[in-house]
Chain A
Amino acid sequence: MRAPSAVAAEHFEDLKQQGHAARLGMWAFLGQEMLLFAGLFALYSAYRSMYRADFHQAALHMSVALGTANTFVLLTSSLTVALSIWAARARRPRACIGFLIATLLLAAAFLVLKFTEYGHHFAEGIFPGRYYHFAELPQHGAHIFFTLYFFMTGLHALHVIAGMGVLTWVLLHALQHHWTPEHHVGIELGGMYWHLVDLIWIFIWPLLYLVL
C-alpha cells in the first residue's frame, strides 16, 4: 500500500507550519497535564509534613517489588515507543508496527500489575476515603496517605488508558503504512504523550514507594 500524500490543511501555508503548530500544541497540552498533577503533589507534600510518622508507617506497607516492576515496565514502554518513531523515520514500517504493539502490551502489563496491587490493598481493607478500615494502621495520616495513593495512581492509570487509546490510533495508521520519514507528526505526538505518562510515574514511584 502506498502512503497517502501528505497535504497541509487549508488554513496552513505549508506542512512545516502545520507540524510546528501540532508539536507546540502538544507541548502546551503536556504543560496542562503537569499542572493537573501538580495539585496532587502539593497535597502530598503538605500532608507528608503534617503526618511524617504516619506516612512512614504507611509507605512501609507498600509493595516496593510491584512498584519497581511497574517502573521497569513503563520505562521499557517509553523505549519501545521511541524506537517506533525511529522506525517510522527510517522507513521500516514493520518494525514500527512491532514496537507499537510491544508498547501497548507493556502498557497493559502495567495496568495488570497496578490492579493486582489494588487487589491486595482491598483484601486488607485499604480503601480510599471513608471506606478505609485497615486495622493495622488506623491513624489519620495513614488513611490520608492511602487516599492520596489511590487518587494519584488512579488518575495516572486513567492517563495510561488514554495513552493506550492514542497509541491504538497511531497503530491503526501504522498498519496502513501511514508514517513515513516525511510525515510522522502523528506518531511523534503519540510518543510525546506516552513519555509524559511515563514521566509522571517517575515522580509518583519514589514518593509513594521509596521515600520512607
Chain B
Amino acid sequence: MSLWVVRGLRDGVVTTRWPKKPDEYADAWRGPVTVVGDADAPDVDGLCPTGAIGVADRVRVDQGKCILCGRCVAARPDLFAWAAGATGPGAAALTREALIVPQVAETDETVAAVRAALAARTAALRRSVHVRHVDAGSDGSEEWEIQALLGPVYDVHRLGIFFTASPRHADVLLVTGAGSEGMAAPLRATYDGMPDPRVVIAVGTDAASGGLLGERLTGVAGHVPVDVFVPGSPPSPFGILNALLIATGKLR
C-alpha cells in the first residue's frame, strides 16, 4: 500500500486549473465546424455526410449534425473552418436552433430568455451538483469522455460536481447516444425519477440529432426535454465539463 502512496505523488498535481485559469489543451481543441464565409451559389451538395450544411438564405452549419469529419473544411476552406476551443458560451447551446451557425438574430433573444430561466431554476444547486448519466444508444466513446471527468486530470469533484447512482439524488441528467428505441422507456423512467429542479444535457452529436444514424434515430430530445446541447462526435471532456457548468449557472 505504501508503494501506491509514493506512486501517487510521483507526477505532482496533474489537474487542470480550468475554469479559474485557461487551459492550453482546452483552447487548442478542434471543435465543430463553423462558417467563415458566404457565397451566392456555394455548390456544397453532397459535401456533408449528415446534411449539416444548409444554404437557404446563406450558408449555415448545423453543429448538432456535425460529426467532425472535416470534409467541408478540406473542400471549401473559404466557407468553413474548425471552431477553436472546447469551452466558452459557444461550445454548448441552450436550444437546438442555437446549434445552427451563424445564429439568426431571433435565436439570440430566445437563448437569452432560456438562459435566464435556466439560471433561475438552478440557482439553488450552488456548489453541490449530482449527476446521473444514461446511455441511450451511444457508440461508447462519449462514455469514455464522461469517465475522464472523474479522473485526476479533470477531477470534477473540485467543482462540487458528483456522479450518483440514483436518479433520486440527481440534479443533472447527462444523456449520450442517438436515442435507440430500446432505451426510450429506461431513459424516460430515469428522468421521471429525478426531483425538481432537474437539468438535461444532451452529450454529443448523436444525442442532438442522431448523427450518421439520423435517418432513423433522431437524438434524445424526443424522449426527454433537453436544456443544454453539447456538439461533438464525441465532445471533449472539457466540452462536457463546460456544459455542466453552464447548465448549473456556474459559467456564463
Q: Do A and B bind each other?
A: no
Q: Which chain A residues have a beta carbon within 8 Å of chain B's beta carbons? A: none
Residues in B lying within 8 Å of A, measured CB to CB: none
